[in-house]
Amino acid sequence: MSEPATAALTVDSGFATVPDSAWVVVSGPTLIGFYPVVSNERIEADEGLAVALDDFSYHLSVAMDSLETYGFTLQLRGGDTLWMRAGTVRSRFVRAADSATVGYVFTDTLGRRAALYGVRTYVDLVEYAHEFRRTGAVKAR
């Protein structure tokens, strides 16, 4: 498993060109799952990617009720860049080029952020959510 990353807040004037539909509105603790945007042909040709995307989707769906009960909003976004808006503060997260293509970003209205790369189990996701709420960070397991 890869180490969790603490992502720096990035703010710039290029945000004006981002369509409204791309923004994740952060109004409390939020977990954003990110994944690559790929064609069905690529998924069919890459068994490892197909398994990773299937596992990613499964674990998020199983964790969803527990995360929502704990006050987290769950968002899914395709692509390498996440656009976040908390009140008037806008920021982005860009997936590290040398990282796994799927992962998770925990964030909140205080601007705290922690990124995890690779598929995590639903148990891990719930434990990370509790840790992030308490500390604003996550430690590798």
**CA of residue 17 relative to chain centroid, distance:** 22
Q: β-pairing, 81-86 with 23-25?
A: parallel
The verdict on residue 5 lying in a domain is no
Secondary structure of residue 17 in the 3-state scheme? helix
**Residue 42 phi/psi, 5° resolution?**
-70, -40
Q: What is the pLDDT of residue 77?
A: 96
Going by C-alpha positions, the residue among 97, 46, 109, 118 that lies closest to residue 73 is 109
Element (H, E) at 135: helix 122-135
| 37-68: pLDDT as tens digits | 999 999 999 999 999 999 999 999 999 999 99
Checking if the pLDDT of 104 tops 80, the result is yes
The verdict on residue 100 lying in a domain is yes
Percent of the chain with pLDDT over 90: 76
The verdict on residue 63 lying in a domain is yes
Q: What domain range includes position 79?
A: 22-135
Mean pLDDT of 80-104: 91
Report residue 113's pLDDT band, with 50, 70 and 90 as the boundaries.
very high
Q: What is the pLDDT of residue 16?
A: 75
The verdict on residue 11 lying in a domain is no
Question: CATH number for the domain including 107?
Answer: 3.40.30.10
Q: What is the pLDDT of residue 96?
A: 87
The verdict on residue 15 lying in a domain is no
Q: What is the pLDDT of residue 36?
A: 93
Element (H, E) at 48: helix 47-69
**Residue 23 phi/psi, 5° resolution?**
-75, 140
Number of domains in the chain: 1
The verdict on residue 41 lying in a domain is yes
Q: What is the mean pLDDT of the chain?
A: 90
Burial code of 62-74, b = ≥16 C-beta within 10 A, e = fewer? Answer: ebeeebeeeebbb
> Cα–Cα distance between 69 and 61 in angstroms, integer?
14
The verdict on residue 115 lying in a domain is yes
